[in-house]
Homo-oligomer: A and B are copies of this chain.
Amino acid sequence: MNKVVNSVEEALEGVTDNMTLMLGGFGLCGIPENCISELARLGIKNLTCISNNAGVDDFGLGLLLRTKQIKKMISSYVGENDEFERQMLSGELEVDLIPQGSLAERCRAGGAGIPAFYTPAGYGTEVAEGKEVKVFNGKPHILETALSADFAFVKAWKGDTEGNLIFKATARNFNPLMAMAGKITVVEVEELVPAGELDPNFIHTPGIFVQRIFKGEKFEKRIEQRTVRQK
């Protein structure tokens, strides 16, 4: 079941205005850099983007924010992006902020055929407005629904031709969950290997969740907060 496409252009075939996209990554770690660049190049507009963060002003989803390609963001934390804050406060950008754990679980649920689940997160806050509340074990919980997307863009470390994926360290984050929830899941990898080279026992994302895979041309992998100690 060969899922390989030969270029980012081919990988993004079919992405059009007004679509809902999921984009993996936490901060700038593990983001689908190549796909984001191509989205910017294509100038596709009115996008709804589901991503834990919104990048920084000149990298990650920030690239699509400054060209105003994004109509709505569904995120948990957007504190690193001034342009985002400006567009949100001015009302140019629709924003749905949701708890990080609920975001992760809602993506997984979308991929797992679970249309809704109860969580305590957000009870008694704005997040709970308009949502069903039910008490379990004496504690109120709110009903959260699944998220899915027309395309999910995922960044993996290694992948094989069948779409089996391995992530590196904390670049894993939301990537495996969004891979599950995309109607079409597109993966950019640093290393593309033949089927059979990855140990079946240590696959993070089985190929069944992946529709297209390609080797990314370059990965800048920018560090947001370089913190070190001296030897």
Contacts and interface: CB of A to CB of B under 8 A. Distances in A.
B115 A136 contact: yes
Interface in A114-134: 114-120, 134
A201 B118 CA distance: 30
Contacts of A105: 112, 114
B119 A113 contact: yes
Interface string A27-61: 00000000000000000000000000000000000
For chain A, which range describes its interface: under 10, 10 to 19, 20 to 34, or 35 or more residues? 20 to 34
A116 B113 contact: no
A113 B117 contact: no
Contacts of A167: 201
A90 interface: no
Contact of A116 (B118, B169, B202): B118
SS class, residues of chain A in contact with chain B: mixed
A72 interface: no
Nearest to A116: B118
A117 to B, nearest CB: 4
A201 B136 contact: no
Contacts of A109: 117
A136 B115 CA distance: 7
Nearest to A109: B117
23 contacts: A105-B112, A105-B114, A109-B117, A113-B119, A113-B120, A114-B117, A114-B119, A115-B118, A115-B136, A115-B137, A115-B141, A116-B117, A116-B118, A116-B134, A116-B136, A117-B118, A136-B145, A166-B201, A167-B201, A168-B201, A169-B200, A169-B201, A202-B202
Top 10 A-B residue pairs of the complex, sorted by shortest distance between their CB atoms? A115-B136, A117-B117, A202-B202, A116-B118, A114-B117, A115-B118, A115-B141, A114-B119, A169-B201, A114-B118
Interface of A: 105, 109, 112-120, 134, 136-137, 141, 145, 166-169, 200-202
